[in-house]
Every structure is written in C-alpha cells, then in structure tokens.
Amino acid sequence: MLLELKNIFKWVNSGGQRVFLLKDINLKVDEGDFISIMGPSGSGKSTLLNVMGMLDGFNEGEYNFLEQSVHTLKEKKRATLYKEYIGFVFQSYHLLDELTVQENLEMPLLYKKFKGSERKAMVADMLDRFNIVGKKDLFPAQLSGGQQQLVGVARALIANPKLILADEPTGNLNSNQSEEIMQLFQQLNKEGVTIIQVTHSEKNAQYGKRIIQLLDGRMV
C-alpha cells in the first residue's frame, strides 16, 4: 500500500462559520493504481490532491504514506518525503519561464543533489524518452501548450517518483493534446508509476482504473 487517508477533515473559518473543504475522506491507494478524482468546481478535488501531495495540511484524521504517519511528521521531514516520492503536474504547467526545457528538467535534480554527470544523463534520457531532444534549448514560451505539459510531465518524472499527482493536467489543452498526455499517463502507469489525477473530463477520467467522485468535500 502506497498511501492511506483515514477520516480526513479539513475546514476553514469564514465569517465565524466553519466551512468544510474535506469531510471524512477515507481512501487507500496501492502502488500501481491510476485514480481519477472528479467533481464539480469547489467540491474539494484540488484540496484533496494537495493534501495527498503534502503541500497542504488538514485539521483532523490520519494520513499514512509508505508506512509513515504524515500528520505527525515535522514540516522538514514531510518535505523530504514528498520530494523523494512525489512528482507534481499542474494545469498551467508551471515551467520556469527563464529556463530552457533542458534546464527546467534539470532543476529537481539540483535540489536532490545529483552530480553533474548524473544529471546530464538523466536529462538526456528523459528528453529522449519524451521525444523532445530537438526542443531542449527552447524556452517554455516557444512551445505549444501540449509540448509544455509534456515537459511538465517529464520534469515530474525525472527523479523517479512513486506517485504522480496531476491537477487537471489537460485543462489548458485541446483534445488532441489531451489525448496524447492521457496515453502517456497510461503508458507510465503500465510501467509501474502510481498516478492520481484531478479532471473535469469524463473521457479522461476513464483512463483511470478507479474514479472517485467528490461533492462538497465528501466522497460519493
């Protein structure tokens, strides 16, 4: 088992009232899973993803990731944990505009203190695998949305995470580009990467092995 959420509650206080963002979420994710989270706007999909990605906290409940109880971990430990095992893919790609494709790919490796030669090999490998060798010296603004997201996925994968969290990865893409990214995800999943994606699209959700529906912070 990769991760487990038990009775997760998250709320904010707004105007003296407690507004629940997540209500009693229970979820087990095994290695090799491919989960699609669906639900209308404001239903808590992104919040749930952020909680699982340890970018956001929660108010009540338990969260175990690879046998470690995340809710008791110190901030720093938690950061090392997600850096090690989780890769993020964002709707608006979030590539660094000032860096080239190659440099964007290299960045997570820098933070993980890989040696220069290793980094070069890993980046080259990834460029090869995603067929973007020819674009390695271009800046994000010179790429199409689909290509940018391709780089985004490549960047998320480069440090060999166990889990990929994707927040509407195709939200800004047209249907052809979406298709491509989804097939890529499917392929990765077959190779053993666990994927959890948030999506609005029924079609894309179908790529997942499991679909979770959220409504007003609750799983339905």
The verdict on 99 binding other proteins (CB under 8 A) reads yes
From the CB of residue 136, how many other CB atoms can be counted at a distance below 10 Å?
Answer: 17
User: Site for other proteins (CB under 8 A): which residue of 41, 67, 97, 134?
Assistant: 97
Question: Which of these, 161, 166, 174, 172, lies nearest to 207 by C-alpha position?
Answer: 166
Q: Shortest approach of other proteins to residue 46 CB, angstroms?
A: 9
Per CB under 8 A, the segment of 26-34, 75-83, 121-129, 193-201 that binds other proteins is 75-83
State the minimum distance, in angstroms, from the CB of residue 188 to other proteins.
18
Q: Is 155 in the site for other proteins (CB under 8 A)?
A: yes
Terminal C-alpha separation, the chain: 22
115 makes contact with other proteins (CB under 8 A): no
Q: In the chain, which ranges are E strands? A: 3-14, 17-29, 34-38, 60-65, 68-69, 86-89, 163-167, 194-198, 210-215, 218-219
Residue 28 beta carbon to other proteins: minimum distance, rounded to whole angstroms:
24
Q: How many CB atoms lie within 10 A of CB 107?
A: 15
Site for other proteins in 13-52 (CB under 8 A): 50
Q: Is 56 in the site for other proteins (CB under 8 A)?
A: yes
Sign of CA dihedral 149, 155, 158, 163: negative
107 binds other proteins per the rule CB under 8 A:
yes
Task: Verify binding: residue 96, other proteins, rule CB under 8 A.
Answer: yes
DSSP-assigned letter for residue 4: E
Looking at beta carbons only, is 84 or 202 nearer to other proteins?
A: 84
Distance between CA atoms of 44 and 48, rounded to whole angstroms? Answer: 6
- Is 111 a binder of other proteins (CB under 8 A)? yes
Report the side by side order of strands in the sheet with 68-69.
17-29, 3-14, 60-65, 68-69
Note the residues at the interface with other proteins (CB under 8 A): 50, 53, 55-56, 76, 79, 83, 88, 90, 94-99, 103, 106-108, 110-112, 155, 159
